[in-house]
């Protein structure tokens, strides 16, 4: 059991952000305010096809800011993609970055920022507070409601050589401003809506039970859980409803403010390991692990989990059962085995998860054998 005190020292870092309809059209004004003359516009092919990168480009042009587009980014962005973007940034003689997209382009943009300012390979920044030189100004415009990369101190990059994700955690990764606009969310396909929503829920739950939580992060974590529990199923039923989409964006914002400062836990440590090895969608990995980690952690933070269970509702006996019921109502019914995870891969997955920085703030200290058992339950 973790003994918390309201007098524990805690910090709270948040970027400037503008939230509301039409926010993305402010990109040009803020790029100019930051003194950007030549921007690397970081996005991905899907966001470009949906028209959102073009809309931001128009805003930059209207403000007299030149830009080069870099969109060679996949889901679970790879280290070589970050370094290709870094080359594009340096070759283009850019002096600022605008990221438009979900977690992948935003994390990649953060990586490009620190790799270009330090002139080092992105993999050398793995861990907490290991970025020596500030990055160039960064504007983030999320087109999903889940990663919260637009407010967080985190960037997650896949190390292709070792087939695992590395976590980079540093205040230098907090964007200079984020423009949170509900309209781009309307072009998210159903699966992306569900997966990013479950990422939001996982961020909020892990931040609330984290052993680095604080009264400041608790407020945001609980509000995120409340919002996502009501708005996510409704937004899936009415995907064009801007009010519902805005609620999921607010949930993601609250969850991001919570986890960026309280950090995460075993769900994310284990999801990073899974996503690195199998290239699975991050939010889906969280969704398939969440209830099993909640059950394993319960005794270490029972009061907090009970509060989460009350908010999630679902009329279930335990908070873990409530989380399981919630994901099933969203149509996530598969197991890890059904997405291709093999039982003989579990020891290596557990070893990588055990070494992930997110494991440090899990409310219960987990040995590799404990982590193997949790993967086994999710199989």
Minimum Å gap between C-beta 79 and Fe ion is: 19
For the chain, the straight-line distance linking the first and the last C-alpha, in angstroms and rounded, comes to: 28
Cβ atoms of 106 and 47 within 8 Å: the answer is: no
Residue 331: Cβ-neighbour burial (10 angstroms; 0-12, 13-18, 19+): exposed
Minimum Å gap between C-beta 232 and Fe ion is: 15
Closer CB to Fe ion, 172 or 200, in the complex: 200
Residue nearest Fe ion (C-beta atom): 199
Minimum Å gap between C-beta 305 and Fe ion is: 19
Cα 322 to Cα 92: distance, rounded to the nearest angstrom: 51
For residue 168, give every residue at least 6 positions away whose Cβ sits within 8 Å of its Cβ, in sequence order, or none: 110, 111, 114, 122, 125, 126, 127, 130, 131, 154, 155, 156, 157
Closest C-alpha to 355, from 275, 260, 273: 273
Closer CB to Fe ion, 88 or 258, in the complex: 258
The sheet with strand 96-101 has its strands ordered as: 16-19, 177-180, 138-142, 96-101, 38-42, 66-70
DSSP for residue 78: B
Tell me the two tokens of residue 124.
Answer: 């050398």
**Residue 145: strand, helix, or coil:** coil
**Number of residues in contact with Fe ion under rule CB under 5 A:** 1
Q: At what angle do helices 302-312 and 319-329 cross, to 10 degrees?
A: 30
Closer CB to Fe ion, 195 or 199, in the complex: 199
Closer CB to Fe ion, 41 or 173, in the complex: 173
Minimum Å gap between C-beta 71 and Fe ion is: 22
Minimum Å gap between C-beta 252 and Fe ion is: 10
Minimum Å gap between C-beta 282 and Fe ion is: 6
Q: Identify residues 186-245 at the interface with Fe ion (CB under 5 A).
A: 199
Residue window 269-308: x/- pattern of binding to Fe ion, with contact defined by CB under 5 A: ----------------------------------------
* Residue 132 backbone phi and psi in degrees, to 5: -85, -25
Closer CB to Fe ion, 199 or 223, in the complex: 199
Closer CB to Fe ion, 159 or 241, in the complex: 159
DSSP result, 287-315: HHHHHHHHHHHGGGSHHHHHHHHHHH-TT
Q: Identify residues 138-157 at the interface with Fe ion (CB under 5 A).
A: none
Closer CB to Fe ion, 27 or 185, in the complex: 185
User: CA–CA distance from 165 to each of 30, 256, 258, 279, 333 (Å)?
Assistant: 32, 19, 22, 10, 25
Closest C-alpha to 222, from 189, 263, 259, 182: 259
Minimum Å gap between C-beta 77 and Fe ion is: 14
Report which secondary-structure segment, H or E, holds 194: helix 190-209
Closer CB to Fe ion, 65 or 336, in the complex: 336
Minimum Å gap between C-beta 265 and Fe ion is: 11
Closer CB to Fe ion, 39 or 269, in the complex: 269
Residue window 319-348: x/- pattern of binding to Fe ion, with contact defined by CB under 5 A: ------------------------------
Minimum Å gap between C-beta 268 and Fe ion is: 6
- Apex 185 CA angle, 106 and 245, nearest 5: 125
Minimum Å gap between C-beta 72 and Fe ion is: 23
Closer CB to Fe ion, 199 or 372, in the complex: 199
Cα 184 to Cα 154: distance, rounded to the nearest angstrom: 23
Binding footprint of Fe ion on the chain (CB under 5 A)? 199
């Amino acid at each position: 059991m973790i003994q918390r005190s309201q007098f524990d020292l805690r910090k709270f870092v948040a970027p400037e952000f503008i939230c509301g309809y039409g926010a993305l059209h402010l990109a040009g004004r803020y790029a100019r305010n930051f003194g950007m003359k030549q921007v690397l516009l970081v996005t991905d092919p899907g966001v470009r096809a949906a028209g959102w990168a073009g809309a931001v480009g128009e805003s930059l042009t209207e403000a007299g800011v030149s830009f080069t587009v870099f969109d060679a980014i996949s889901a679970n962005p790879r280290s070589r993609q970050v370094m290709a973007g870094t080359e594009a940034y340096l070759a283009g003689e850019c002096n600022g970055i605008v990221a438009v997209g979900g977690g992948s382009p935003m994390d990649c943009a953060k990586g490009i920022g620190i790799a270009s300012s330090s002139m080092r390979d992105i993999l050398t920044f793995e861990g907490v507070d290991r970025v020596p030189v500030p990055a160039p100004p960064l504007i983030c415009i999320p087109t999903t409601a889940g990663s919260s990369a637009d407010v967080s101190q985190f960037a997650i990059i896949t190390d292709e050589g070792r087939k695992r994700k590395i976590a980079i955690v540093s205040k230098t990764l907090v964007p200079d401003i984020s423009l949170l606009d509900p309209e781009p969310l309307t072009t998210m396909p159903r699966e992306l809506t569900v997966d990013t929503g479950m990422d939001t829920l996982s961020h909020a739950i892990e931040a609330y039970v984290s052993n680095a939580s604080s009264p400041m992060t608790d407020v945001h974590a609980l509000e995120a859980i409340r919002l996502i529990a009501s708005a996510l199923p409704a937004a899936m039923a009415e995907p064009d409803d801007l009010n519902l989409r805005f609620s999921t964006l607010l949930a993601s914002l609250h969850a991001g403010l919570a986890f960026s400062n309280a950090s995460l836990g075993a769900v994310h440590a284990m999801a990073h390991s899974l996503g690195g090895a199998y290239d699975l969608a991050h939010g889906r990995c969280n969704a398939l692990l969440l209830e099993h980690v909640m059950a394993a952690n319960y005794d270490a933070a029972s009061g907090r989990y009970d509060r989460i269970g009350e908010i999630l509702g679902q009329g279930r006996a335990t908070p873990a059962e409530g989380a399981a019921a919630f994901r099933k109502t969203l149509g996530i019914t598969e197991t890890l085995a059904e997405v291709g995870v093999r039982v003989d891969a579990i020891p290596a997955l557990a070893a990588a998860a055990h070494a992930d920085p997110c494991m440090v703030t899990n409310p219960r200290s987990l040995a590799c054998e404990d982590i193997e058992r949790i993967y086994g339950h999710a199989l």
